[in-house]
Chains A and B, each alone.
Chain A
Amino acid sequence: MKSFLRCAAAVFYKDLLSELRRREYVNSLLFFSLLTIFLFSFAMGTEPDLLRKLAPGLYWMILIFSATLALERSFFTELDAGCLDGLLLYSTSLRAVFLGKWASNFFFIGMVQILVALMMTALYNLESPRNPPLFFAGLLLANIGISTLGTFYAALVTQSRARQVLLPLLLFPMLIPLLLGSVYVTEYALSGDPFHQATLWLKLLVAYDSIFLAACFAAIEPLLEA
């Protein structure tokens, strides 16, 4: 168990370190999300009321698009010079590699979440959420879900041709319940939730996360062995 966690932590550390040294993906990721915020306001117009109304939906659209970029990174970088095979061979367990990759994706997506939230608040002139704990709970649960399925699918499509197309094609339909849940949670967190309507969606997100964490964890071994 201890070596398992150490292995996962090592994979996580390795990812962070290589990102810190190169700063390729993080930079392009942050600029991509910033750019999409601008693009949406060009497409929708700059009327503050409209943007405020659309904000939760736009926020999660931007996030899912940017997250796909972050996720593509996670296994593709390992393809050079047979890094992936080495990583899988040296590690105590394939699940530990998955957990480490999951952690680094969680970290990068979390970073994008915070940045996009701040930038949108400034650019779309939004008020700060009326219910901050709910807002952050939504971010956290959605991030867990996106990084779980995202890591799983990134591992899956790495071994096929046409990865760039395949990842969103497979991932987006899977994320629909998560998208619905997080959009509503964010909406209630922003506008206040006197009737506790967000509870239902929070439950959905918790169920979604736990089911797919368990399933991906169980199914990752045969997948990485392939």
Chain B
Amino acid sequence: MQNSKSKIQSFIVLMAVAFFLFAQYWGLFKSPPDQLMGHVQKLMYVHVPCAWNAFIAFFVVFISSFIYLIRKNPFWDRLAASAAEVGVVLTGLTLILGSIWGRPTWGVWWTWDARLTTTAILFFLYVGYLTMRSFVGDKDRRARLAAPLGVIIFLNVPIVYMSVRWWRTLHQVQSSPSTVDPNMVLSLRLNAFAILFVLILFIYHRYQIALLKDKQEEAL
């Protein structure tokens, strides 16, 4: 049991690190610099994958919170908590990397554009979720309180996006894969998968920690 667990773990670590290094190498050296933005554009290979994977993480929070409401199995609660933590980290990274990219290309660190604002609000929502979890001592109660919250928060995401979009918009729309250099598309996709593996690795680790903490709580 212990042996197979550590095998899975080392497999995920290996995949995540190797894939990430490879994808970063590809992005930095193999794909061409942007015609207008030059090498700054390469931030895209971390910024965009972080954003995508943060959404995946939040979707995992939503699904596992929902299943927890039906099944009441602590597995789903721990998964939701782990995914929320990793999602918050990735969202934070998305915001910071976006700022670093925005300064040389748009001339500002921050702008009240729809997607930026939505991402920031998403960050606040899930930080709230984690704060709430940390303020409830008993783990069963924490799980039962956090699950409805995980569902409700996620429902707000499309509404926030729509409302902020009507409010204002500047962020460049997604480029269609057919209009950019195929190497760039490949680079982006490689990096997206690399960060997906990192996401899985982090969630896996956070899950193990949550499991141990629960065991420790039971033992006390």
**Is B132's CB within 8 Å of the partner chain A?**
yes
Majority-rule SS of B interface residues: helix
Instruction: Please name the residue on chain A nearest to B118 by beta carbon.
Output: A176
**Is A156's CB within 8 Å of the partner chain B?**
yes
The residue from B124, B144, B162 contacting A173, defined by CB atoms under 8 A apart? B124
Contact A176 B121 (CB under 8 A): yes
Q: Mark B103-145, 1 if CB is under 8 A from A, else 0.
A: 0000000000000000001001100110110011100110011
Residues on B with beta carbons closer than 8 Å to the beta carbon of A160: 132, 135-136, 145
Contact B163 A222 (CB under 8 A): no
Contact A219 B152 (CB under 8 A): yes
Contact B151 A219 (CB under 8 A): yes
Q: How many residues of B contact A (CB 8 A)?
A: 30
Contact A177 B136 (CB under 8 A): no
Instruction: Please name the residue on chain B nearest to A201 by beta carbon.
Output: B166
Q: Mark A171-189, 1 if CB is under 8 A from B, else 0.
A: 0111011001100000000
**Is A88's CB within 8 Å of the partner chain B?**
no
Which residues of chain A (173-226) have a CB below 8 Å from chain B? 173-174, 176-177, 180-181, 200-201, 204, 207-208, 211-212, 215-216, 219-220, 222-223, 225-226
**Is B147's CB within 8 Å of the partner chain A?**
yes
Q: Mark B84-119, 1 if CB is under 8 A from A, else 0.
A: 000000000000000000000000000000000000
**Is B44's CB within 8 Å of the partner chain A?**
no
The residue from A169, A176, A223 contacting B144, defined by CB atoms under 8 A apart? A223
The residue from B135, B140, B147, B167 contacting A180, defined by CB atoms under 8 A apart? B167
> Known contacts A162-B135, A170-B132: does B156 contact A177 (CB below 8 Å)?
yes
Instruction: Please name the residue on chain B nearest to A211 by beta carbon.
Output: B155
**Is B186's CB within 8 Å of the partner chain A?**
no
Contact B135 A166 (CB under 8 A): yes
Question: In the complex, A225→B152 CA distance in Å?
Answer: 17
Q: What is the interface of chain B, defined by CB distance below 8 A to chain A?
A: 69, 121, 124-125, 128-129, 131-132, 135-137, 140-141, 144-145, 147-149, 151-153, 155-156, 159-160, 162-164, 166-167
Q: What is the interface of chain A, defined by CB distance below 8 A to chain B?
A: 149, 152, 156-157, 159-162, 166, 169-170, 172-174, 176-177, 180-181, 200-201, 204, 207-208, 211-212, 215-216, 219-220, 222-223, 225-226
